[in-house]
Amino acid sequence: MKTATVTCELTITNQWRHYELIVIGTSLGGLKALTVVLNYLPKNFSVPVAVVQHRHKASDRTLVASLQHHTSLAVKEAEDKEEILPGWVYLAPADYHLLVESSNITASRPYFALSTDPPVTYARPSIDILFETAAEAYREKAIGVLLTGANQDGVKGLAKIKACGGLTIVEEPTTAFCPIIPAAAIKAKVADKIFPLEHISLFLVKICN
């Protein structure tokens, strides 16, 4: 896997810019947290959502079915070279890194790529990899959200989104099933907004719809 080489400069803009991608990262306790966030996103919510949930490499597609039960948006596992379309929730497949690639001569919009490169921060899929590649592709039009989790995967990636001018949101650690990831992001000072879990989707709807 090629490492990120693009250096992003901080862009100062107001919160009402037009966002085009939301990336969410979570680990331990993530299923419940994701159901809460997705449950409050309306059917007409048009900004695509890409999710990395740490899970066992042999896990099946039960996660898709579980999340679909709690949202009116369409949920699917992302596929290699699949264009990112509005109104969808994309999940990183088990045991694959999920990357965002910029549009090129054969693709009119950014698309996903899957990788079986070694785990990053002991995880595959890696939150950092999704966040860093999303930052490069979408820059100030990306929103990064870090939820509950038991390690520090995602903190570096959230910093990249912030450096590229995107918006960064972290779950309030006191509402997290496992506060380690949110607390690490707050300590690293990469969170633009810190919300209790139940308030995150309400804020996303406010700024995106």
* Given the residues 27, 97, 128, 201, the one annotated as active site: 27
Tokens of 198: 């139940």
Q: pLDDT of 44-97, one tens digit each?
A: 999 999 999 999 887 777 899 999 999 999 999 999 999 999 999 999 999 999
DSSP secondary structure of 70-89 = T-SSEEEE--TT-B--TTEE
27 is catalytic: yes
Q: Enumerate domains of the chain plus CATH numbers.
A: 21-208 (3.40.50.180)
Burial 103-132 (b: 16+ CB within 10 A, else e): eeeeeeebbbbbbeeeebbebbbbbbbbbb
Q: Is the pLDDT of residue 14 over 60?
A: no
Alpha-carbon distance 106 to 95, whole Å? 27
Lowest mean pLDDT among 38-52, 53-67, 145-159, 180-194: 53-67
54 is catalytic: yes
Q: pLDDT of 196-207, one tens digit each?
A: 999 999 999 999
Q: Which amino acid is at 106?
A: T
Q: pLDDT of 91-124, one tens digit each?
A: 999 999 999 998 765 567 899 999 999 999 899 9
* Given the residues 54, 97, 126, 128, the one annotated as active site: 54
* Given the residues 95, 153, 192, 201, the one annotated as active site: 153
